[in-house]
Amino acid sequence: MLTIALLFISNIFMTFAWYGHLKYKGVPLWQATLVSWLLAAFEYMFQVPANRWGSATFSVGQLKTIQVIIELAVFTGFVRLYMKQAITWNYVVGFFFLFVGAFFVFRKF
């Protein structure tokens, strides 16, 4: 559970680092880049321990899958709440198929 919580926190920082500056297009690119790099540093403070500790329980592929699913959840909230953009049906369908893919990653055959 700690791995998932840390990945969730790291994805909040990374989502803002990657996309938060798009709301402030009047800010010079160098400043947006600097702020993004600072946010990404915080992301690594959570991501690295999450992967290190999580690797005791999950395979690397499973860790990446967990990260991608959490990223989609964080990104969806970010787009709706921060960017004020709609999540349309085609995004929902695409995300659904990614969740189906995650099911197969964790499925034991």
Which pLDDT tens digit goes with each residue over 79-93? Answer: 999 999 999 999 999
Taking the C-alpha atoms of residue 85 and residue 103, their distance in angstroms, rounded to an integer, is 28
Ranges of each domain in the chain = 2-106
pTM comes to: 0.86
Q: pLDDT tier at 109 (50, 70, 90 boundaries)?
A: confident
Question: Residue 72's closest CA among 48, 100, 49, 52?
Answer: 100
